[in-house]
Structure 1
Amino acid sequence: MEGASRSPVFSHLKSTLYGLTTVRAFKMQDEFERDFHQLQDCHSCAWYAFLTGSRWFGLRLDLIGSLFVGTVAFLSLITVTVTDLNAGQVGLAVSYALLVVGTLQWTVRTSTEIENQMTSVERIQQYHKLPQEAAHHVPHVDKSLPTNWPSRGKIEFSNLSFAHYDGGPNVLHDISLVIFPREKIGVVGRTGAGKSSFISCLFRLNEFASGKVVIDDVDVSKIGLAALRSSLSAIPQDPILFAGTLRNNLDPFSAYSDCELWTALEKVEMKETIEQFPSKLEIELAESGSNFSVGQRQLICLARAILGKNKILAIDEATANVDIRTDQLIQKTIRKTFHDCTVITVAHRINTIIDSDRVLVLQQGRVIEFDAPHTLLTKRDSVFSNMVEGFGESESKVLRSAAEQVCNYSSEHLSNNMFSLFTVKEDFYH
């Protein structure tokens, strides 16, 4: 009871400290303090019950011990009159009886404490029995991968169905599509449509229920997870930073030089900010990078993706929690730095993917539409068009105008460079 009531106290304290700014902004200090006192009172009741129970049990053990010593002494007196037992032997028996009393108390209390601590062992056993991921390394397959795989960034989904856990309901159903090299794809849909799950498939966060994903003619389900995940770059919605130095967060395996680290930071406009710190790249980041703002943390994650120099970049609503200026900076950096890469962007703001080559519209885990933004917007009955209309008349006009300008620019650019919009090859995408 004491152990079960202790965890909520620590959890509440940790969440309060982590969101202290939000608590103060909404003036919820009294409510959080009241909740803390209630949890603390519950724990104190269990702790008090534990202490009083221990004292009650100790008193009973003392009484049993005293009864045992008294019995030994009484039987010794009777035995002296019947046998040749001398005083020394009687004293030895009584002294050993006193030792037994102390040993009994120590044994009982230790055994109860061991039983109490076994809850931690039970928790470890639960984690130990969790099903493991697929093999991180498949030597005979990983060694046969082409050099710098993936070198083009072509992705093929073939009748793919995906669930978040084995035996669970499918969140993606029969996804079949082809993403060409260097293509910029925007993924949109309502909440629960399967947008984040679409990104999860690339990294094999769980094995596929059916179908397959092929990247540059390599079935990703056949290779090791380490080879797959190290070949892809990702920028998550919640920026993930670890306690430690900035250098370790950017380059955990010490694979890049200081010049490359500074170049990546310069591309995301974080170089001047880091140079202001005396320790520069050796600056210590707090847990979850809390000594930086959310926008700065997202820019550091972007710099980490730039260092990877991978041909495929997955962005899962990376700009959902940042201000407009940081959003524009991230989008500008992605367009400039990853122009030769295949980029899949899960959209939170439609304007961030309106200039994509194609837009993938998901609904209940199924592909509803997959075409150029301007083409979808010209169809008044399309799902994407209805989503844009939902933003209001003024913003809808802006988005439609932007899509049309991008389309006209692309057509003119292709014409000037003697390319045709319809000569899209599998090996090279323009």
Structure 2
Amino acid sequence: GLSTIRAFKAENSFIQLFAKKMDVNTSAYIIVQAATQCLALILTVLSSFILLATSISIALLSNQIDSPDAALSLICAMFIISGFQCSLRRLVESDILMTSAQRIDEYRHLPREENEEDCKHSVKTSTDWPDEGRIEFRNYSLRYGANLPYALRNIDLHIESGQKIGIIGRTGAGKSSLFKGLYRFVDQSNVTGDILIDDVNIHRLPLNHLRSNLTAIPQQPVMFSGSLRYNLDPFNSYSDEQCWKVLEDVQLKQFVQNHSAGLQMSISEWGRNLSVGQCQLINFARAILKNRKILLFDEATANVDQRTDDLIQTLIKNKFHDRTILIIAHRLNTVAKCDHILVLDNGMVVNYDTLTNILNSYQ
């Protein structure tokens, strides 16, 4: 993001924004430290009074108390004060740390996703479903909470098999929400309408079956700590020859061959030992290997250079020519070759046509 900030000469505004956030964070920290010191002072004063009261009592009763007993009383008073101070401080610290336990408890009580047993009136599909890749939205609306506004509103959309659909719109227009609806990431109580894939209502499918038959490539490449082969084929469903073939398709075969471990080369979490472009190409290799009929690209080329972007566009043209593809993008050239463009605004479809017709409508 630094290059974008510098390109728009927005350094000062971001520095001011960062300074304000630092002030908020520091002010909260200072308040906690001030409260801690205040508590320590109160405890010290209270302890001093207890010790003073003990000393006065010993002085008044000097004729009735032996010297060893007086010394023992003072020592016990000092230990009681120390223990009291320590206990009270630990109590305050535990109260602060219980915030973490409260968050864990909130996660524990989150409603779980539906599983196969919860799916009412579930339908069984063929092993190669979806074999055509047709997608239909029927008066579909989605929101993220019962008291929140709808992120998608009354979406009616029909996508034919093998079509390439470019999805554009401002931030918050509902582009990513469309994908979340397809993957059923949102609780069904916050959804109205239906989504059909090859005439099958996805709300009547087990989640595992639905999600395993869709392929998504997000903006941030997803890489796991492990070998390259594990990242390509986590469930060991394909042969080494097939893995080498898809690496060749994305022009990474030579790079992997130059590594002494080959397919077993180590990949760090999030692919930190690779470039962003290489990580994204591995994601595309995984998609080619998986060979699903429907693919969802969410800003898949936003963080790569022009050469990698051109390679990805070539892959989409050659390797996914018979697939149904939904592409979220901000670059016009990314969706320029799509069959149709879907324009979203405030969660509603404002235009759905070819790129030429849409451009003509704004002239």
| Shorter-normalised TM range | 0.7 to 0.9
Greater alpha carbon shift after TM alignment, 301-310 vs 171-180: 171-180
Greater alpha carbon shift after TM alignment, 330-339 vs 351-360: 351-360
State the AA in 2 paired with 1:60: V
Q: 1:257 to 1:103 in 2, by over 3 A?
A: same
Is 2:159 the partner of 1:179? Answer: yes
Where do residues 206-217 of structure 1 align in structure 2 (5 Å cutoff)?
206=186, 207=188, 209-217=191-199
Is 2:285 the partner of 1:306? Answer: no
Is 2:308 the partner of 1:323? Answer: no
**Partner of 1:170: helix, strand, or coil?**
coil
Cα distance in structure 2, aligned partners of 1:183 and 1:56: 72
Compute the displacement of 1:46 (Å): 5.4
Greater alpha carbon shift after TM alignment, 69-78 vs 261-270: 69-78
**Partner of 1:177: helix, strand, or coil?**
strand
**Partner of 1:174: helix, strand, or coil?**
strand
Q: 1:256 to 1:201 in 2, by over 3 A?
A: same
Gaps of 5+ in 1: 1-18, 390-430
**Partner of 1:178: helix, strand, or coil?**
strand
Is 2:175 the partner of 1:195? Answer: yes
Is 2:125 the partner of 1:150? Answer: no
Partner residue, 1:118: 98
Q: Is the 8 A contact 1:250 1:303 kept in 2?
A: yes
Cα distance in structure 2, aligned partners of 1:354 and 1:70: 89
Partner residue, 2:111: 132
Compute the displacement of 1:229 (Å): 1.6
Cα distance in structure 1, aligned partners of 2:156 and 2:213: 22
Deviations 1:293-335 (A, max 9, x none): 3322221221222232211111123223333321221121122
Compute the displacement of 1:272 (Å): 1.9
Cα distance in structure 2, aligned partners of 1:192 and 1:101: 58
Compute the displacement of 1:133 (Å): 5.2
**Partner of 1:199: helix, strand, or coil?**
helix
Q: Is the 8 A contact 1:153 1:216 kept in 2?
A: yes
Is 2:54 the partner of 1:69? Answer: yes
Cα distance in structure 2, aligned partners of 1:352 and 1:28: 28
Cα distance in structure 2, aligned partners of 1:384 and 1:133: 44
Compute the displacement of 1:234 (Å): 0.8
Once the two structures are aligned, what percentage of the paired residues are identical? 37
Greater alpha carbon shift after TM alignment, 69-78 vs 112-121: 69-78
Q: 1:346 to 1:77 in 2, by over 3 A?
A: same
Where do residues 352-371 of structure 1 align in structure 2 (5 Å cutoff)?
352-371=334-353
Deviations 1:67-109 (A, max 9, x none): 243255346546x3xxxx8777667655544442332232222
**Partner of 1:64: helix, strand, or coil?**
helix
Partner residue, 1:167: 147
Cα distance in structure 2, aligned partners of 1:75 and 1:281: 86
| RMSD across aligned positions (CA) | 4.0
Is 2:244 the partner of 1:262? Answer: yes
Compute the displacement of 1:213 (Å): 0.5
Structure showing greater relative contact order (alpha-carbon pairs closer than 8 Å, 6 or more residues apart): 2
**Partner of 1:227: helix, strand, or coil?**
helix
Partner residue, 2:208: 226
**Partner of 2:157: helix, strand, or coil?**
strand
Pick one of 239, 244, 250 that aligns with 2:221: 239
Cα distance in structure 1, aligned partners of 2:151 and 2:242: 40
Cα distance in structure 2, aligned partners of 1:193 and 1:51: 46
Deviations 1:107-163 (A, max 9, x none): 22222222232232333344445x435314447777834323223222221111222
Q: TM-score, normalised by structure 2?
A: 0.78
Where do residues 5-24 of structure 1 align in structure 2 (5 Å cutoff)?
none
State the AA in 2 paired with 1:203: Y
**Partner of 1:265: helix, strand, or coil?**
helix
Cα distance in structure 2, aligned partners of 1:42 and 1:139: 48
Gaps of 5+ in 2: none
Number of residue pairs matched? Answer: 356
Q: Is the 8 A contact 2:51 2:74 kept in 1?
A: no
Q: Which has the larger radius of gyration?
A: 1
Deviations 1:241-288 (A, max 9, x none): 345544443334444443333322221112222333344444444553
Cα distance in structure 1, aligned partners of 2:118 and 2:34: 57
Q: Is the 8 A contact 1:183 1:341 kept in 2?
A: yes
Q: TM-score, normalised by structure 1?
A: 0.68
Deviations 1:204-255 (A, max 9, x none): 2224532100112321112333322221001123333345544443334444
Greater alpha carbon shift after TM alignment, 185-194 vs 260-269: 185-194
Q: Is the 8 A contact 2:51 2:77 kept in 1?
A: no
Q: Is the 8 A contact 1:361 1:383 kept in 2?
A: no
